[in-house]
Amino acid sequence: MHPLMLHVTCDLGPIRAVTAAVRATAEGCEAEFRLDGHIAGIVVPSPAAPERRDNLWQTTCFEIFWQPLGGTAYREFNLSPSGAWAAYDFDSFRTGMRDAQVAAVALACAHDDHGLVLTASIAAALADPAQVALNSVVENADGSKQYWALAFPPGRPEFHSEANRALILER
């Protein structure tokens, strides 16, 4: 598991640590995200149909950014504790956004008073080797948000920045 860092502009809230892991598979990838802290102090989206849905990043969710090593195009996955998901392809930094072709996404989420774990299995064509980012948006019960990532570029939290893609993966 890789520790994610809280963006410097965010206040420390009910979540005290976020860790994540991802591995490439023959079918796509598998990932796990963990939140540690006071789960009752955050917004956990209610279970919903396991389907593609936009704007998941507006509340607690997890993200994977997958970019071919040396390329400019990338794919973004948004994974909600509700079971909903989204996948987008971009030609370059925030340019050319469109729905990505994904064969299947399976999410499982469990939580108690002190932690939340989301696991994901994604069947999709993914570049190999790739530079990868693991991120999390955590919405606190008061509506404020925390932004967690492996790395951040200078300035405001920007998950689309190549600076976030701190992992190199290959099959």
pLDDT digits over 91-140, tens only? Answer: 999 999 999 999 999 999 999 999 999 999 999 999 999 999 999 999 99
Task: Place 161 in a pLDDT band, splitting at 50, 70 and 90.
Answer: very high
User: Nearest CA to 83 among 35, 44, 51?
Assistant: 51
Sequence spans of domains, the chain: 2-169
SS (H, E, C) 49-105: CCCECCCHHHCCEEEEEEEECCCCCEEEEEECCCCCEEEEEECECCECCEECCCCEE
Task: Give yes or no for residue 80 having a pLDDT over 90.
Answer: yes
Phi-psi bin for 83: left (phi > 0), alpha (psi -120 to 50), beta?
left
At the second CATH level, the architecture of 2-169 is Sandwich (2.60)
Mean pLDDT for the chain overall: 96
